[in-house]
Amino acid sequence: MPTITLPTADRRLEPFTTRPPRDFPKATPPFNRVAIAAAHVVADPLADVDPWLDVAIDWDRTIAYRCYLWSLGLGVAEAMDTAQRGMGLDWAASLELIRRSLDAAKDIPGAVIACGAGTDHLAPGPDVTIDDVIGAYEHQASAVEALGGRVILMASRALAKAARGPDDYLRVYHHVLSQVRQPVIIHWLGEMFDPALAGYWGSDDHWQAMETCLTMLHANAASIDGIKVSLLDKDKEIAMRRRLPRGVRMYTGDDFNYAELIAGDDQGHSDALLGIFDAIAPAASAALGSLHRNDLSTFHDILGPTVPLSRHVFKAPTRFYKTGVVFLAWLNGHQDHFTMVGGQHSARSLPHLAELFRLADAAGLLRDPDMACARMRSLLATHGVH
């Protein structure tokens, strides 16, 4: 197996010998969990744009990656934060991405897709009212539904800025949910993913915020398929999961503890809507196939080694996790470059990426170690490491 010299956190260089990739058996759905991967976008590195200001997407490679996820039996969460929504991807580009993905899904039997609708075309500010937020949600949700898409109702920076308390959140969500055509997925994205969402649901205390969110869920259950909770706290997710209205799913967004949350306990389990499933798609699919066969041992044997990788990818500042997701897609040959929308490929350090390389290898996720090493060496060389 190939060996590569990698930097360490203490500025040393050490040889690292890769191991053979794991042969993940391809699973065939249906699974006994709903499993949706929030998918990344592939930038167009040849576009003559200013990356910090303009959006240039390689549509062919971006859609091809969604087809890859569908081929593994995973659903796709489109135009979410993993696709750099609000960190390089604006609403206009998001809507075009949604349109193209929905079109691609029509050609794939059983393809599951749900699409992010929020308020990101409305800039937060002191003059923004609750009615403005409602109008922005209505605009995006109706645009998604007009294309035939199912809505994931994303958390709103404008609402977090404009709301004066829990009642404003209840008013906004009730109004929007009363108009949707089919049940939606609610997304509670914690401030560790987006600092502008601090105090969501009207409180800085997650437990108090949970009470408001549960009130909203119970009042609007007929319009809700489930809620994705991204707080990176398994105890909060489990506590909330046990209090959901009948028929409303818990979609784990916990990229630290997803394996045990998906496995569940004697009182229930979480389904999955995860950014890390983009990066570990073959392992996720194989593990879910094992779980469907009630082979919990193999499920944990496959997913267990991916958890340290995920915790590293999503380490603070968590909002920069997209860099690791795209880095791994590049190492594995799903795209020809490590260039990101918004210049976000620069958001993580070289030692961070080197450790990600090691952890991906440990999880058996470097599908061609020779190629991965060659690409890693090219990145090291651009940083003056030889």
Please check whether residue 32 is in contact with residue 46, taking contact to mean a CB–CB distance below 8 angstroms: no
Contact 97, 78 (CB under 8 A): yes
CA 228 to chain centroid: 10
Predicted structure pTM score? 0.96
- How far apart are alpha carbons 277 and 270 in whole angstroms? 15
**In sequence order, which residues have a C-beta less than 8 Å from that of residue 133 and are 6 or more positions away?**
119, 122, 156, 158, 159, 162, 172
User: What is the pLDDT, as a whole number, of residue 199?
Assistant: 98
- How far is residue 44's CA from residue 46's CA, in Å, rounded to a whole number? 6
DSSP per position, 163-176 = --SHHHHHHHHHHH
CB 192 within 8 A of CB 318: yes
Nearest to 67 by CA among 33, 30, 34, 113: 113
CB of 283 closer than 8 Å to CB of 24: yes
Half-sphere exposure of 88 (CA within 13 A, CB side): 29
Which pLDDT score is estimated for 13?
A: 96
Domain ranges of the chain: 24-342
**The two three-digit tokens of residue 73, written as one number:** 């039996």
128/172 Cα distance (integer angstroms): 13
What was the pLDDT predicted at 27?
87
Selected from 3.50.50.60, 3.20.20.140, 3.30.1280.10, 3.20.20.70, the CATH number assigned to the domain covering 24-342 reads 3.20.20.70
User: Which of 44, 45, 46, 40 lies closest to 68 in space, CA to CA?
Assistant: 40
What's the pLDDT score for residue 52? 87
Token code pair at residue 221: 């259950």
For residues 12 and 26, give the distance between their C-alpha atoms in angstroms, rounded to a whole number: 39
Buried b (16+ CB within 10 A) or exposed e, 249-278: bbbbbbbbbbbbbbbbeeeebbbbbbbbbb
Closest CA to 161 of 116, 202, 209, 216: 202
Q: Which position has the token pair 């969604």?
A: 66
Q: Spell out the per-residue pLDDT of the chain, length 386, in tens.
A: 999 999 998 999 999 999 999 999 888 888 999 999 999 999 999 999 998 888 999 999 999 999 999 999 999 999 999 999 999 999 999 999 999 999 999 999 999 999 999 999 999 999 999 999 999 999 999 999 999 999 999 999 999 999 999 999 999 999 999 999 999 999 999 999 999 999 999 999 999 999 999 999 999 999 999 999 999 999 999 999 999 999 999 999 999 999 999 999 999 999 999 999 999 999 999 999 999 999 999 999 999 999 999 999 999 999 999 999 999 999 999 999 999 999 999 999 999 999 999 999 999 999 999 999 999 999 999 999 98
338 to 121, 226, 322, 329: CA distances (angstroms):
28, 34, 12, 9
Can you tell me the distance from the alpha carbon of 314 to that of 310, in angstroms, rounded to the nearest whole number? 6
323: alpha, beta or left, given left = phi > 0 and alpha = psi -120 to 50?
alpha
Rounded to whole angstroms, the Cα distance separating 367 from 310 reads: 17
Joined tokens for residue 152: 């994931």
CA distance 8 to 196: 33
